[in-house]
Amino acid sequence: MTDVVLFEEVLTNNGKKIAISTLNSPRSLNALSGDMIDILYPQLQAWQQDEEIVLVFLQGTGDKAFCAGGDIVHMYKAMKDGAEKIEQGVYSDGIEEYFTKEYKLDYLIHTFNKPFIVWGNGIVMGGGLGMMVGASHRVVTETSRIAMPEISIGLYPDVGGTRFLNNMPESCGLFLGLTGASINAADAKYSKLADHFILNDKKDALLEQLKTVNWGGTVSLNHEKLSAVLHDEELQSNNQLPVSHLKAQKSLIGHVMNHDNIIDIVNAIVTVEVEDKWFNRAQKSLKHGSAVSGHIVYKQLAVGKKLSLADCFRLELNLSVKSGQYGEFMEGVRALLIDKDNQPNWKFKRVEDVDSKVIDWFFESKWSDTEHPLAALGK
């Protein structure tokens, strides 16, 4: 059986080591499975404590994807199994177990005490983006295709989306969360999801340069040394950046988002007439997405504006577990990936129809502060 995560420690010229971790499930576009997390999390913890390791480099196998998201087919099976067991009077929640592990991994990357690069080449979606945004140095390439398309499967933008969507330029975060719109490398830099643009075929050259750095024992200086390498003229490719959709449509996005309630925002997005393929795809995904998800995204970002990173993940775990229980998430995955009929039977056809009590239920915590599975994350 092939290892789903590969590890390598590369010796630098001055005797320090660069740790390289590779998500290794190309058939699933490196979708983040529970098995991957179980292997990756303790290794990152070990590298964090190893004084010989000065830098972690996380990538995906192949050129198609860094990570296409969480393993939602496995989650579908867990939701279905959980529903059957509940009918039998037995509580079972594989969804809670998976998301708890995933958010612990994301939080570890966010708070890692050494320079951490994510090579965000190809598809970077959902759980993949959750890992990338936490890195201290986030690299995108000419093929990067980034999205949080959860509204299409009855979920919502989790994995820290409460924080990183709120940190985007005004209106962008909510627009991307509602529409699941796919963005490119230029958009990623504009929306603060990425720091550096480097062509994918320069990855080996980057790794070779990193071996020549005079790494030391001071973390802050190592961060500066890594940044200097990533800004090296031989690696720079900014003149080949694609056109940013978010910048090109900045005024239109600002116009449709200029409302104080979710119903008017959604109606403004889907009804505005514009000849732009990227924006039209965003309209289409919102039209066909879950109305419940739309309401959750809107409230999630409003509630999350003043939350700490740890509290964002605690909020999201509650929302994710309840999404698994409510049924909308399972139906969305069924329609997209199981039966592949692309005809999800959402519980509400329009955002106007959604019962506010349903949304209130999603935001009522399942646990007390001390009982929360992520209580130990910090403040």
**Which tens digit of pLDDT belongs to each residue from 113-169?**
999 999 999 999 999 999 999 999 999 999 999 999 999 999 999 999 999 999 999
One-letter identity of residue 30:
N
Q: pLDDT (tens digit, 9 = 90+) per residue, 67-100?
A: 999 999 889 998 888 766 655 554 457 899 999 9
| Percentage with pLDDT > 70 across the chain | 97
Handedness of CA 24, 156, 152, 192 (dihedral sign): negative
Given a cut of 90, is residue 279 above it in pLDDT?
Answer: yes
Domain that holds residue 197: 5-377
Residue 132 sits in a domain of what CATH number? 3.90.226.10
3 state SS of 70? strand
Cα–Cα distance between 145 and 142 in angstroms, integer? 9
- DSSP states of 217-274: S-HHHHHHHHHHHHT-TTT--GGGPPPPHHHHTHHHHHHHT--SSHHHHHHHHHH---
Instruction: Provide the domain count of the chain.
Output: 1
Q: 215 CB contacts (<8 Å, ≥6 apart)?
A: 12, 14, 16, 54, 55, 222, 225
Band (pLDDT 50/70/90 cuts) for residue 186 is very high
* Helix pair 172-179, 277-288: axis angle to 10 deg: 60
Given a cut of 90, is residue 346 above it in pLDDT?
Answer: yes
Q: Do residues 12 and 18 touch, judged by C-beta distance below 8 A?
A: yes
Q: What is the mean pLDDT of residues 102-111?
A: 98
